[in-house]
Each structure stands twice: as structure tokens, then as C-alpha cells.
Amino acid sequence: MFESRPDREYEIFLLGRSNVGKSTLMAELTGHAVETGQRPGVTQAPNHFDWTHPSMVLTDLPGFGFMAGVSEADRERIKTDVIQYVERYADHGLVAVLVVDGKAVIDIIDRHTGPDEVAHVVELFAFLQDVGIPTVVAVNKMDKVDDRDERLNELCDRLGLPGPWQQWQDTIAPITAKRGSIDALESAVREHLHEAGRDDVIGLLF
């Protein structure tokens, strides 16, 4: 399922845990209907969508973490497949969008952080830096968050980014994909492309 990929020069990756709204964000960005649901783990193979230009593909990668009806062994396999896919096509990657649930992300990170454990979100963020893909953390479902600035500052702290979060607006993008509120994400992606000298690509995306 991870072997097929459209022959495109540029790729933007959407990654994150299950049920954080990646597929909803994909639908908002592309205008394509995407299978979504309340049950975690609906997406178990990459969804590829052409995005505004023949040279571009936007890829919604399967979430990892809890998935209803999916064994632990299969969850680990999917996680490994996601990592290997990004490594394989990193040279094509313009930006990676790491989607998190703004209401739950701090609790999830803290629950899975310990002497012998690194939370998936933190691990994935570091991995994307290591492979050299500019990364935007799309902090989704912010309409459900009351303490917005405090929550975003805490997320920066967990990711090793010195606060306040406002100085990381090219990396931390508060959004509500279900309501179409994704301006912060689009702005952050534009900034990364500009910094990379790829202003020519911005016109292909937005």
C-alpha cells in the first residue's frame, strides 16, 4: 500500500496521530472528499491528491497511535511504513505538516513521556528535522481550546522550542480545519517556501 506514489516533483506530507483531523484538513486544502470518521485509524494507507498543479502532490499519511480494531503489531508496522515513506521521498518534500489535536496534545505527550519513552509527536517532529523537511505543526481543533496561548506555549516547550509560541509562527499554526480556519497554516507554508527560495512554488499552491 505504501509502494505506489504519483510521479510528481514536489510533495507535501500530512502526518500525525490517528483522529487528529488530517483527512479533514486534506479535504479543506484540496476540495476533494476524503473518508473521515470518529473512529481512529480510518486511514491506513497513503491518500495522494494532486494539488493545483501537475508537479504537486499532497499526501495524507496514516495516523499512528491507537486505532480501533488494529493490533499493536500492525500499528507498529504502519508507523514504520510512514517513517520509511518520508525518508524515501524526503528529497521531494517541500513541507511536512504535522497535525495535532490542540485540546489533547499536551496530555498525550506527557502520558507517553518517560525515562524510556518518547511521545510519538515529539519523536516525529525531531525526525522531520533530521531528514531536513521544513515542518509546520498544525494545531487543530483550536475552537475547543480555551487557554489558547498557554496551550501553544506548552506545546512549544514539549517540542524543545523556547517560548512564547508567537515567535514560532512559521512552525506552530493554530487551526480549526472543520471550520475552514487554516490561514495560519497557509501563511506558515508560504514562509517556509519563501525561505527556501521557492517563491515560484507558492503560486502553485495557493
pLDDT tens digits for range 134-169: 999 999 999 999 999 999 999 999 999 998 999 999
Domains and CATH numbers, the chain: 10-205 (3.40.50.300)
SS3 state of residue 172:
strand
Inform me whether the pLDDT recorded for 43 exceeds 60.
no
Which pLDDT band holds residue 39 (cuts at 50, 70, 90)? very low
Q: Looking at residue 112, what is its pLDDT?
A: 92
pLDDT tens readout for residues 75-112: 788 888 899 999 999 999 999 999 999 999 999 999 99
- Residue type at position 68: A
Q: Contacts from 120-124 at CB under 8 Å and sequence distance 24+?
A: 120/17, 120/64, 120/65, 120/79, 121/16, 121/17, 121/158, 121/159, 122/158, 122/159, 122/160, 124/15, 124/16, 124/98
Helix, strand or coil for residue 139? Answer: strand
Percentage of the chain beyond pLDDT 90 is 56
Query: pTM of the predicted model, to two decimals?
Result: 0.89
Within the chain, where are the H helices? 22-30, 72-88, 105-111, 120-130, 148-158, 183-195, 199-205
Residue partners of 8: CB distance under 8 A and separation at least 6 = 50, 54, 55, 56, 57, 92
| Per-residue confidence (pLDDT) for residue 68, from 0 to 100 | 58
The pLDDT of residue 199:
85
The residue with greater pLDDT, 196 or 105, is: 105
pLDDT of residue 147: 94
Report the pLDDT value the prediction gives residue 34, as an integer from 0 to 100: 59
